[in-house]
Amino acid sequence: MSQSKNNFVDFVRIYCKSGKGGSGSKHLRRDRLTAKGGPDGGDGGRGGHIIIKSNRNKWTLLHLKYTKHIKSPNGLNGGKSLSTGADGNDVVIDVPIGTVVKDIQSDKFLFEFDDDNQKYILCKGGRGGKGNAFFKSSTRQTPRFSQEGENGVELAVSLELKVLADVGLVGLPNAGKSTLLSVITAAKPKIGDYEFTTLTPNLGMVNYRDGQSFVISDIPGIIEGAHKGRGLGHRFLRHIERNYCLLFLISIEDENIGKTYEMLLNELGLYDETMLQKKRIIVISKGDLNNNVNERKAILKNLPKNIKCLFISSVSTEGLSDLKDELWNILN
């Protein structure tokens, strides 16, 4: 079954609160041999941290979809005989590689996971308070007070997943991206003759020569104004950020292919200027609908000369082998 909107979750919000530190003890030493001993109150334990860790075995944020609140345990109070309270257990949240963490209130970027097993302390546990033994001195030999533990940290964060692929398919809705992915990879995306068939990114592995392979992702279609959130907006644009190169797929049925390419490029640039630095290739799809050599030459005249442009057909398989070669050359 292909990834669907039910099991592919790429955005969640969670409220986190780390544990409070344990309080220090005010205990004065008393036993059958000591009627009035000195202070022997231990320190409180640290509150539990909330830690986010990348896990290569996670592919979506589905496991956090219904987790709205995450709280770590408090540290325990200090005890007599200089006993230190136990630290609160840390809570570890596993996320896929490519997850970006932001503070919801300030929209401040906090961390991005780009490798396996990276850790980020999201909310530090409160420090444990000092026991009265800590405050003993030559001038204050019997302190009858101790320190409270620090409160934990509260933070509301958003987790955004950016899919990592070698090649990202960019194009208008219904440009044939899903069909191309289904033909050159083993992926089975939902395909339909209407806009926004693809609602979440689909990943596929392209088997190349000599056992080599690369990953291609079908990103939901761009429309004009996408950088402002129109259509599926930012939901898919963030996935393009982590693609090494971009494949602009435009249907041969398009009335103005050059203008459509400029619009797509403009939307990417308005969202993030660094997108324009990525390597790219232009591919004209549905080539089986128009084999006229002169008309194809006219199309090429309206496209940039410094970018490779290919004609393909996912139905007749025209140009698919050349496309794989060209993508492999770009990636290597």
Q: List, in sequence order, every residue forming a beta bridge with 112; answer none if it has no partner.
A: 100
- How confident is the model over 273-291, as pLDDT tens digits? 888 888 999 999 988 888 8
Non-local (6+) Cβ contacts of 202 within 8 A are: 2, 3, 178, 181, 187, 189, 217, 218
Q: How confident is the model at residue 3 (pLDDT cuts 50, 70, 90)?
A: very low
Q: How confident is the model at residue 30 (pLDDT cuts 50, 70, 90)?
A: confident
Edge-to-edge, what's the strand order for the sheet holding 11-17?
69-71, 11-17, 154-161, 99-103, 108-112
At 44 the pLDDT is 97
CB atoms within 10 A of CB 172: 20
Mean pLDDT of the chain: 85
pLDDT at 134 exceeding the cut of 70: yes
CA distance 138 to 253: 90
- How confident is the model over 248-262, as pLDDT tens digits? 999 998 889 999 999
- How confident is the model over 178-220, as pLDDT tens digits? 888 888 886 564 444 444 344 456 777 788 888 888 888 877 6
At 236 the pLDDT is 59
Cβ-count burial 78-89 (b if 16+ within 10 Å, e if not)? bbbebbbbebbe
Query: Mean of the pLDDT values across residues 133-146?
Result: 92
Q: How confident is the model at residue 49 (pLDDT cuts 50, 70, 90)?
A: very high
Closest CA relative to residue 93, chosen from 74, 114, 65, 134:
65
pLDDT at 241 exceeding the cut of 90: no
Query: Mean of the pLDDT values across residues 87-107?
Result: 94
Place of tokens 């109150």: 41
CATH 2.70.210.12 at 1-161, yes or no = yes
Fold held by 165-331: Rossmann fold (3.40.50)
Query: Read out DSSP for 145-208?
Result: ---PPPP--EEEEEEEE---EEEEEE--TTSSHHHHHHHHSS------SSTT---S-EEEEEE-
At 225 the pLDDT is 54
Boundaries of every domain in the chain: 1-161, 165-331
